[in-house]
A and B are shown apart, each in its own frame.
Chain A
């Protein structure tokens, strides 16, 4: 391909699509390269779509995007030994009003739609093509990409790397190191099909309202991780993720974890009779702020998962991806308007924009959480277990007086954690999450 583009975007996930769309709308010449058969066929997410980040890119997306259900209820369950569960739920019919705040989506459908919007906006999208490396000039500036196809060198004034968590392109060009074991979580999920009516009934919702359930506790067997259960229109997405290092150490396979969760008495009746139609897996960059690599240089920027932009505490990632893609695009648009070069000095504006947005503010806020979780896995294990035991003790009416029951609970707490241990946990928790 002899043509030269203003920008090449590697990858057609939320980050790459947001970048390509924004650039094309502003009249820049954009080439987007995706290795999947169609955009979405390589992508995996729970998936929750946070409206704000897409709204900033496509304000009227609700009228056209393939959305599953509008989330009106969030349940949080803390599981005990396979029998008990303590939960809280927040349901707000305000969330049922339009415009909705969050939706469940099926990524292969959503990504294909988003990519069609990118093409309509004027970008050229090449599919079934894997980018194998970056082209640099003698001064080291990135000036294009190499693909696996014959004569597959394509030039551009800037390259946006949106190639996802494995970030092979950036690694091969020496722009970042591989994700560290202690910063990677592995999530596995299944898509389980049930009729819309059964889902409505089991989750207590009507129309296109949806429920999300986040699950923690003994389902992860003492490892750092969480599970989830999201309602789509006529399917349920169920998954569980754990830190990869924990899985290796505990010698538990990811599919055993998932199967264990599916058999928990809280989960089993909700998915009974469903037909499993897909099993997927994906890595999540959980290193947080301290693991974010350099995000820009001469002729290149990194966005989304490839840049490790994930807020693990709040289970947010695709919104950070879309916002980072949009901000990278806006940086280029502004530079081009000013007639400025796409060099490191100019592209520093991308980092400044990110720092000024919720993306880096939230990442910074929880900068110490990954280290905290690494050394305090028991927090996700001991406390849900104690909470369930306490609930059982207080709710079991058996003629034992309540003060005796309180003493029993305290004794159980002390058995699990010393007073100093409790205070230490509370202090470290506060330090990491404040």
Chain B
């Protein structure tokens, strides 16, 4: 669909408004097998993650969970099931002020 222009959005500016308690060094989402991401042409995780946690770093798929909204999108959208997805420890992660 090219008839409507989609705006460029800096999602980090949105995430900046949110409240988090980051569990340093204990990422609750991990890539199971990096080689599998290398073979994936579609990389839907990068498009669909509403927090922009999934990015290409020097050609490789990388996930940084600090801004994670804990929705589950990356786990569900990953065809090969390559996302090891867990909840953060109790009390950590996103703390919605309004929800």
Q: A43, A128, A277: which contacts B17 (Cβ < 8 A)?
A: A277
Minimum CB distance partner of A109 in chain B: B98
Please name 12 pairs of A and B residues whose Cβ atoms are closer than 8 Å in the assembled complex, sorted by A: A36-B91, A42-B99, A130-B87, A149-B90, A184-B73, A188-B50, A191-B98, A250-B1, A255-B14, A260-B4, A279-B69, A280-B99
Minimum CB distance partner of A165 in chain B: B72
A297 interface residue, CB < 8 Å from B? no
CB B1 to nearest CB in A, in angstroms, measures: 5
Contact assessment for B90 and A130 in the assembled complex, using a CB-CB cutoff below 8 Å: yes
A320 interface residue, CB < 8 Å from B? no
Q: How large is the interface on B (under 10, 10 to 19, 20 to 34, 35 or more residues)?
A: 35 or more
In the assembled complex, the Cα of A129 lies from the Cα of B48 at a distance in Å of 28
Contact assessment for B18 and A279 in the assembled complex, using a CB-CB cutoff below 8 Å: yes
Task: Please give, as numbers and ranges, the residues of chain A lying within 8 Å of B97 by CB-CB distance.
Answer: 108, 191, 277-278
- Besides the contacts A130-B88, A253-B48, A255-B11, what 19 more A-B pairs have beta carbons closer than 8 Å? A41-B99, A81-B4, A82-B4, A108-B98, A128-B90, A166-B72, A168-B85, A248-B48, A248-B77, A251-B47, A253-B50, A255-B50, A255-B52, A256-B8, A259-B7, A278-B97, A278-B99, A279-B15, A281-B51
Q: A128-B90, A130-B89, A181-B76 are known contacts. Are A247 and B48 too (CB-CB below 8 A)?
A: yes
Contact assessment for A35 and B90 in the assembled complex, using a CB-CB cutoff below 8 Å: yes
A310 interface residue, CB < 8 Å from B? no
- Contact residues of B between 47 and 74, Cβ < 8 Å to A: 47-48, 50-52, 69-73
A309 interface residue, CB < 8 Å from B? no
Minimum CB distance partner of A188 in chain B: B50
Contact assessment for B90 and A247 in the assembled complex, using a CB-CB cutoff below 8 Å: no
In the assembled complex, the Cα of A218 lies from the Cα of B6 at a distance in Å of 12
A283 interface residue, CB < 8 Å from B? yes
Minimum CB distance partner of A235 in chain B: B98
| B-binding residues in A (CB < 8 A) | 35-37, 40-45, 47, 81-82, 106-109, 111, 127-130, 147-149, 165-166, 168, 178-181, 184, 186, 188, 190-191, 218, 221-222, 235, 237, 244-245, 247-248, 250-257, 259-260, 263, 276-283
Q: A108, A109, A128, A248: which contacts B44 (Cβ < 8 A)?
A: A248
Contact assessment for A244 and B48 in the assembled complex, using a CB-CB cutoff below 8 Å: yes
Minimum CB distance partner of B73 in chain A: A186
In the assembled complex, the Cα of A148 lies from the Cα of B77 at a distance in Å of 27
Task: Please give, as numbers and ranges, the residues of chain B lying within 8 Å of A222 by CB-CB distance.
Answer: 1
B21 interface residue, CB < 8 Å from A? yes
Contact assessment for B91 and A81 in the assembled complex, using a CB-CB cutoff below 8 Å: no
Provide the B1-34 mask, 1 if CB < 8 A to any CB of A, else 0: 1011011110100110110010000000000000
